[in-house]
Chain A
Amino acid sequence: MSSTAGRVVRAGQSAVRTVAPVKSNNSAEARMSVLQAYKEFQRLTPKFWWDFGLHDMPLGVFRAVIKKQFTKNGHLTDVRVVDRLVGETNMHMESIRMAYYNPDHVRNYLFAENVEAKPKDFLSKFLNGKE
């Protein structure tokens, strides 16, 4: 059975809070699991890139896009949040492998930042033919 043992994640000035870990016991373990997930994802990337019809960009660019998904969370320090994101990444990888995701899903997930902001003021709405 899994251990739900409480472990110290952070010692405050006055009190020590014990919480149930998601997976890792300390930040070093969490870091290792992130690196493992990253490596696995990069191993998956060529097949992913080809199967999902993402070859309108070079593979190198696509690898960089995948890398960005990891580096954008680089500021996180809570081990449990990191573990959860690693768990979600593993879910995504499983869904990619099993082709649960469609190309549109991954495109929208990976390139959501590139969506142009909708016109806010009247003039640009007018020029876009909205009003």
Chain B
Amino acid sequence: MLGSVIRQAVSRQIVRNAPISTTAVAAQTQATGEKKESPKKPTIWKIDEHKRERLANFGKYAAECLPKFVQKVQFAAGDELELLIHPSGVVPVLSFLKVSFIDIILTEPINFQGNHSAQFTNLTFITGMDVPTRKNRLEVIYALYSVRFNARVRVRTYTDEIAPIDSVTPVFKGADWYEREVYDMYGVWFNNHPDLRRILTDYGFEGHPFRKDYPLSGYNEVRYDPELKRVVYEPSELAQEFRKFDLNTPWEQFPAFRNQSITSGYETILETAAEPAPAAPQNK
């Protein structure tokens, strides 16, 4: 009873705050969009300004609802919404995006799917990223898709070599193999994962190949030993001493972006002032 009252109240608030797209307004922007054509665009991808604004609003709304976890809301490449979150907030943020308001997450079972404003019900992929110069060198990226609104969002979080991240398999069952892949390639440990093993590399493989410090030739090489009558793993050894290969192309690929920083493609929507503290200790 109380739950349904809260749900109604919150869904009304959401209608005011953050629905992503409605067809009527989209048609309106199409009509007006023909008049003001921007002079030159870097890509042929047409950015739907109206939808972009809606997405930005949704990003702000998400940051308001989850102030503890969302550190930054930004657009990448024009209209790709990204939420940069604290690693302790992976499960709450993803269940928020799936279910879209916090009261449901707190009161209802996690697989609840009701009337809500975003419905990012599809987990497109999970992947990792390694930037050794950062304090927290590994990044884990979750891409979500809302079939209802044809909208996408990416959730990015960070970790280092040993700090664990909570598995999102309770929220998205399909996260299972993606997380195994991230564990295999980057060595990110996922707590509460049902079956965290390597998935792409061989059994008994050493190291995590997508880390930047993983050697190009690997650690082990494999051969069949006719005397022992079995496969033998040995430390890999190149016939030639290591050579510094010049792999750069002779052509400059993006001269127009020669002097731009690599982060210039991001546009910040909202940024919290300080890094939020991790979740308060719970006595459970």
Contact = CB atoms under 8 A, between A and B. Distances in A.
Contact of B197 (A94, A103, A104, A112): A94
Contacts of B282: 3, 5
Contact of B232 (A21, A102, A108): A108
Interface in B264-284: 277-282, 284
B252 interface: no
B279 A4 contact: yes
Nearest to B224: A104
B230 A107 contact: yes
Interface string A19-36: 111110000000000000
A22 B192 CA distance: 9
B130 interface: no
Given A3-B282, A101-B203, A20 B196 contact: no
Interface residues of A, number: 34
A115 B235 contact: yes
Interface in A71-106: 78, 80-81, 84, 87, 91, 94-95, 100-106
B230 A104 contact: yes
B3 interface: no
Contacts of A108: 204, 231-233
Interface centre among A3, A94, A106, A109 (most CB of B within 10 A): A3
Nearest to A7: B281
B128 interface: no
A42 to B, nearest CB: 20
Contacts of A94: 197
A124 interface: no
B281 A80 contact: no
B88 A4 contact: yes
A105 B222 CA distance: 11
Contact of B166 (A4, A19, A100, A115): A4
Given A2-B166, A115-B234, A115-B235, A84 B189 contact: yes
Contacts of B280: 5-6
Interface in B114-167: 162-164, 166
B207 interface: no
B164 A102 contact: no
A69 interface: no
Given A2-B166, A3-B281, 15 more contacts: A4-B88, A4-B91, A4-B191, A4-B279, A6-B88, A6-B277, A20-B88, A20-B163, A81-B162, A104-B230, A105-B204, A108-B204, A108-B231, A115-B233, A118-B237
Interface of A: 1-7, 18-23, 78, 80-81, 84, 87, 91, 94-95, 100-109, 112, 115, 118
